[in-house]
Structure 1
Amino acid sequence: MKRLSRLVFATAVLAGAGLGARAAPTPQLAWRAPSGELATPAGARLPAQVPLGSTWKLFVYGYLVTTGAQEPLYRCGNVKREPGDEYCCEPGESIGRDAALQRSCGAYFEPRRLKLDADNWQRFWADRQAPAWLQALPALRPASTVPVPALLEALQRMPDAGRLAAREALLPNTLREPALLAALGSGPRFKTWSWTDAQGERFGGAAGWLADGTAFWIGGAGTGQQVMQRDAARLTRDWAGTGQLTARPDAATLQAQPCVDVRFFARYPLARVLRRNGQPAAAGPLNEPGTYTLKFANGQQLVVPSQPGLLLTGSPIAPRLQARMTLEEYVARVVDREGVATETAAARALAIAARSWLQQNAVPSVSQGCLMVDDDSRAQRVSPRPPSPAAESAARFTAGLVLRGAPVRYALDRSDAKAEAQLLGWREAVAASRAGQGMEALLRQAFPTATLTGWQAQGDCQPLPLAAQWLTDRMPRWQRQLRREVGYEPLDAPPQVCQLEVGTPHADLRRSRLWLREWQTRDGRVTLIHEYLHLAFRRHPRGQDENDIERLAQQLADL
């Protein structure tokens, strides 16, 4: 199996000023808020100097993004694997900028390969008032050491475009560790680093940003997997008092979110909208201080607070109410309307389901650039009131996370929709949440074939051309046997085969794509055939019978 990255998140901190000092037994944490002050947990002692390790790649990445560079892909050699290529790609394959950062492919960001000019580099970072060490291109070496405050200051000076792009590229690092995701949510995005001290002890760490723009650095003893499994809860406690895990995103992050246009009460026509004084409200924003009374044609009424984003349109005899909001405000309003936000794990699972449903079903507006959706019981209901703090917390804790690989539906109770093979039942989710299950377990039970990933990924396929060719070459030889199988339908064209970074191998029936981790071993090829058969039997119940599909895959693997 391809080793995708050096996931050595947890890092050993040097107890003294020199690199030869023994690593401290507990992880260290420091962060620098946008206001500039340095913060650490109570009683924490930071080492005087820390190595950059792989964090230097963050700054090259940010430079490339901000300057609009169009650097070539990095290609792994066909014959001889160069040192470090095991973190990049398979022999003969290529890798792009985002995947290179996430996998920690140092060869991609090598300044000589990119032909970076030292004077341009210095001017770029000097213009942004970055620390002097970052302005010197030769300092971009893993062995270079800097004080933690100086590293955090450099991260804080990263231009918004580079920071936001890096956060999206690094999301798989957060998703890969279940303990990290359960404890910290999708907010922390980090680049791992690693080094060894004079005694050969492994230490390393991570650096990145929270959703509100806060730069952070973590260090501890052992490998990344060990530290995250051991100390995720500790990191949560260290940040819990600050409120930063569910803090309001900074302005640049908010601006980068997709916008959503909601048409409220799509199935329930409004008759009148009245101001506080009982007079009809004029068309336009409902931002007069106080409340508005919505009177419906069916005789019902509802009082809502004034909101700048709430817009009254239509005529006095046929008023319509709509609003434009950010993606995460929309998700929070759905959580308030469709669930109970104080049921923490269930509300987080619902937030991911609501965001996924929107991505799968909303209509993009060509003219406005927003997603358009109705507030409708046949779709998703959206609260006309500002979201509650608990709903905002659920949306922010899961910000940007969506499910791919299955159509997402949910209902009050699974028994209300027995025909749905994959569906989140709210009552069942609440019961499981109260029994101690986390949001990821709830989603895995409801959508077993789906993968948790990021909104911006859009299910982008990083192709595995050799795997696709292997499958294409063998499909004809399988035809004779498969044509005897009930429910088989030949595909119009061979499917795409895509690299799966996180989650369970699956077939995307809508786009005829197969997602898998590797295909070089027999088990990997059986998995490839298995997912192909899901496509080949997509219109027949056998396509959902995992045992039958696996039996066929094992047979075909030996042909």
Structure 2
Amino acid sequence: MVAFAAAVLATAGATAAPIPQLAWRAPNGVLMTSIGAKLPAQVPLGSTWKLFVYGYLTATGAREPVYRCGVAKREPGEEYCCDPGESIGRDAALQRSCGAYFEPRRLAINAAAWQRFWVDRQAPAWLQSLPALQPATTVPVPALLEALQRMPDAARLAARDALLPNTLREPGLLDTLGSGPRFKTWSWTDAGGERWGGSAGWLADGTPFWIGGPGTGQQVMRRDAVRVVQGWRDGGLLSVEPDAAALQAQPCVDVRFFARYPLARVLRRNDQPAARGPLTEAGPYTLQFANGQSLMIPSQPGLLLTGSPTAPRLQARMTLEAYVARVVDREGVATETTAAQALAIAARSWLQQNAAPSQGCLAVDDDSRAQRVSPLPPSPAARAAAAFTAGLVLRGMPVRYALERDEAHLLGWREAVAASRAGQGMEALLRQAFPSATLAGWQGEGDCELLPLAAQWLTERQPRWERRLRREVGYEPLDAPPQVCLLQAGTPHADVRRSRVWLREWQTRDGRVTLIHEYLHLAFRRHPRGQDENDIERLAQQLADL
């Protein structure tokens, strides 16, 4: 650990900001590095050991018991797991970094079976040893990356789904990283008592990566995300496509094109009627509509011509993200990057909320009453918008969008473009349009478990506080009530950017004081008083008694 600390410090000047270490393993097995000039010889596993136990349990089809936190008091480490008397499952345990859940003795993992599993996958020797699964174990970065690369595809994809909340939870990370990189943070303490941390995980195409630097894992990711993205950009990894396993795992979408505009004829390049089946002949094809309009499209194996010669129909089965990219091209302008990312999430959310299940896929019409879908292959910019937000949906309220925002709870495209050009991020655009919604993975839980009764209590009491607060220097009323989210681990806090308050409970007086305290951080967000914990606490105690 001391060697790691020395290596990081050696890459930074005496007064310069700390420089993170970034490494990844190319498909040919070559170790690639960026940002930091030199990787340390050995790095601690920290919390990354939990990734490999998770992978083993997933790949072997284990049915381990949930972990139940002690009723009377917390055991050491349970603050990362659950509240006393509650229980936690595998995915949540990985996301929250609950080490007690993945303890091999609790799971009764057999050392010989563990070794055989990883030997069969040609994993590095250190991973084949069950006793090596300790946070203090140190390994070379290349050996850690190789171990991540040896994770079975199904286990890697399950871990990526479970880890998505790590990106959603940290303010600003999603706008910077997107949903492609999925990571497990790690932290450890060197011999001098200094904290060091970072993360390890996979990009969308399965490329394993490792990040390290001074501070806790969350601090490193929050502080260095922009430099990490630049490192991936320099390495040609910023816009990687999902690998075959990830593509196969995506939901499929069946689209019926031109649902409101019947086709009259579909002609090949020689003006002869196209044959039923995939449009694979040398294009372009000419689509002639019953209303007299026509459109030329290139040949595309994914497009299928069905129906009769006098009533042809065009349909396609595509992956979820290919569908989203085509919607972005048809409903927006993909080169408006931030607005297009917000539209991609809205389109994906609308599909999940409205499409009909059909033969294992989702069936939807290309229709202005639903979502319009481009019959052309998606543009690179649209594919990038879909990839940057891959798998993300909004939950908690109906999602709709239109060219102009003429009513509340609607994403207006023109307003989104104007706001993005003024510097607002993707999350801010979505929060303004859908204030009661939370971001989540396609199959996962939201990034905020709402406490609606706490939010209602706060809203009901704001009028009685208003006269008192307006006498306070720096007070600014909020445009809308904040979201109140259940805190599973860590310290209660306010997220000014998202207008959220995170706390464990609010039924007791102490809990309500905490709720008021964090709300006041939002109400004094633009004034130095908002950073004065003593002043905020004094005012919260006074308001609690009003």
Report the equivalent of 2:404: 413
In the alignment, the residues of structure 1 paired with residue 170 and residue 485 of structure 2 have an alpha-carbon distance, to the nearest angstrom, of: 21
Question: Which of 297, 302, 306 is the matching residue for 2:295?
Answer: 302
One of 259, 263, 269 as aligned partner of 1:270: 263
What is the match of residue 534 of structure 1?
none
Rounded Cα–Cα distance in structure 2 between residues aligned with 1:462 and 1:72 = 24
Q: Structure 1 residues 462 and 439, CA, compared in 2 at 3 Å: closer, same or farther?
A: closer
Evaluate the alpha carbon distance shift between residue 516 and residue 358 of structure 1 in structure 2; reply closer, same or farther with a 3 A threshold: farther
Q: Report the secondary structure of 2:280's partner residue.
A: strand
The correspondence for 2:124, drawn from 127, 131, 137, is 131
Q: 1:243 to 1:398 in 2, by over 3 A?
A: farther
C-alpha deviation, 1:178, in angstroms:
2.6
Tell me how far apart the structure 2 counterparts of residues 148 and 253 of structure 1 sit (CA, whole Å): 25
Which among 368, 371, 381 is matched to residue 380 of structure 1?
371
- Tell me how far apart the structure 1 counterparts of residues 3 and 158 of structure 2 sit (CA, whole Å): 28
Counterpart check, 1:348 vs 2:341: yes
**Partner of 1:108 in structure 2?**
101
Contact 2:297/2:376 (8 A) holds in 1: yes
- Would you say 1:369 and 2:360 are equivalent positions? yes
Q: Which residue of 1 aligns with 2:213?
A: 220
3-state DSSP of counterpart to 1:260? strand
| Paired residues of 2:342 and 2:430 also in contact (CA < 8 A) | yes
Determine helix, strand or coil for the equivalent of 1:262.
strand
For 1:112-511, list aligned pairs within 5 A.
112-365=105-358, 368-414=359-405, 418=406, 420-457=407-444
- Residue 186 of structure 2 contacts residue 217 of structure 2 at CA under 8 Å; is this kept in 1? no
Q: 1:518 corresponds to which residue? A: 504
RMSD: 3.1
Q: Give the match's secondary structure for 1:15.
A: helix
Q: CA deviation at 1:236?
A: 1.3
| Distance change in 2, residues 1:461/1:450 (3 Å) | closer
Residues 1:517 and 1:262: Cα distance change in structure 2 (over 3 Å): farther
> Per-residue CA shift, 1:94-142, capped at 9, x if unaligned?
0000000000000000000000000000000000000010000000011
Q: Deviations over 1:315-356 (max 9, x none)?
A: 111100000000000000000000000001000000011001
Say whether residues 1:79 and 2:72 are aligned partners.
yes
Q: Is the 8 A contact 1:337 1:383 kept in 2?
A: yes
Matched AA of 2:504:
E
Contact 1:12-1:219 within 8 A present in 2 as well? no
The answer to whether the 8 Å contact 1:128/1:157 transfers is: yes
Give distance in 2, aligned partners of 1:100 and 1:374. 39
**Higher mean displacement: 217-226 or 158-167:** 217-226
Partner of 1:540: none
Q: 1:137 to 1:65 in 2, by over 3 A?
A: same
Aligned CA distance change for structure 1 residues 42 and 68 (closer, same or farther; 3 Å): same
Distance in 1 (alpha carbons) for counterparts of 2:357 and 2:102? 35
Rounded to whole Å, the distance in 2 between the matches of 1:12 and 1:102 is 28
Instruction: Give the Å deviation of 1:306.
Output: 0.7
2:278 partner amino acid = P
State the one-letter code of the partner of 2:411.
Answer: L
Q: 1:178 to 1:282 in 2, by over 3 A?
A: same
Give the deviation of 1:500 after TM superposition: 6.9
The structure-2 alpha-carbon separation of the partners of 1:115 and 1:26, relative to structure 1 and needing over 3 Å to count, comes to same
The answer to whether the 8 A contact 2:169-2:447 is kept is: no
Deviation at 1:80, TM superposition (A): 2.4
Deviations 1:463-522 (A, max 9, x none): 99xx99x9xxxxxxxxxxxxxxxxxxxxxxxxxx995779999xxxxxxxxx98532544
Q: Tell me the secondary structure at the aligned position of residue 27 of structure 2.
A: coil
- Which consecutive unaligned segments of at least 5 residues does structure 1 have? 1-10, 471-496, 506-514, 529-556
User: How far, CA to CA, are the matches of 1:307 and 1:437 in structure 2?
Assistant: 37
In the aligned structure 2, how far is the partner of 1:101 from the partner of 1:319? Answer: 50
Q: Normalization by structure 1: what TM-score?
A: 0.80
Mapped partners of 2:387, 2:132: distance in 1: 36
Q: 1:229 & 1:516 partners in 2: Cα distance?
A: 18
What are the Cα deviations for residues 515-542 of structure 1, in whole angstroms up to 9, with x where unaligned? 98532544867999xxxxxxxxxxxxxx
Aligned to 1:531: none
Match of 2:523 in 1: none
| Code of the aligned partner of 1:425 | G
For residue 550 of structure 1, what is the aligned residue in structure 2? none
Tell me by how many angstroms 1:183 deviates: 1.2
Query: Which 10-residue stretch deviates more, 27-36 or 134-143?
Result: 27-36
**1:444 maps to amino acid:** R
- Counterpart of 1:424 in structure 2: which amino acid? L
In structure 2, what is the Cα distance between the partners aligned to 1:504 and 1:261?
42
Letter of the structure 1 residue corresponding to residue 274 of structure 2: A
Q: Does the C-alpha gap of structure 1 residues 401 and 105 become closer, same or farther in structure 2, counting only changes over 3 Å?
A: same
In structure 2, C-alpha distance between the alignment counterparts of 1:310 and 1:12, rounded to whole Å = 57
Return the alpha-carbon distance in structure 1 between the equivalents of residues 211 and 298 of structure 2. 43
Aligned partner (choices 43, 53, 60) of residue 50 of structure 1 = 43
Question: Does the 8 Å contact 2:7/2:38 carry over to 1?
Answer: no
Distance 2:487 2:350 in 1: 22
Q: CA, structure 1 residues 17+120, in 2 after alignment: closer, same or farther (shift >3 Å)?
A: farther
Single out whichever of 152-161 and 179-188 deviates more from structure 2: 179-188
Q: Decide whether aligned partners of structure 1 residues 500 and 332 sit closer, same or farther in structure 2, where only a CA change above 3 A counts.
A: farther
Q: Distance in 2 between matches of 1:303 and 1:504?
A: 53
**Alignment length (residue pairs):** 476
2:63 pairs with 65, 70, 75, which one? 70
TM-score by length of 2: 0.82
1:187/1:225 CA distance change after superposition, 3 Å: same
Tell me the CA shift for residue 426 of structure 1: 0.5
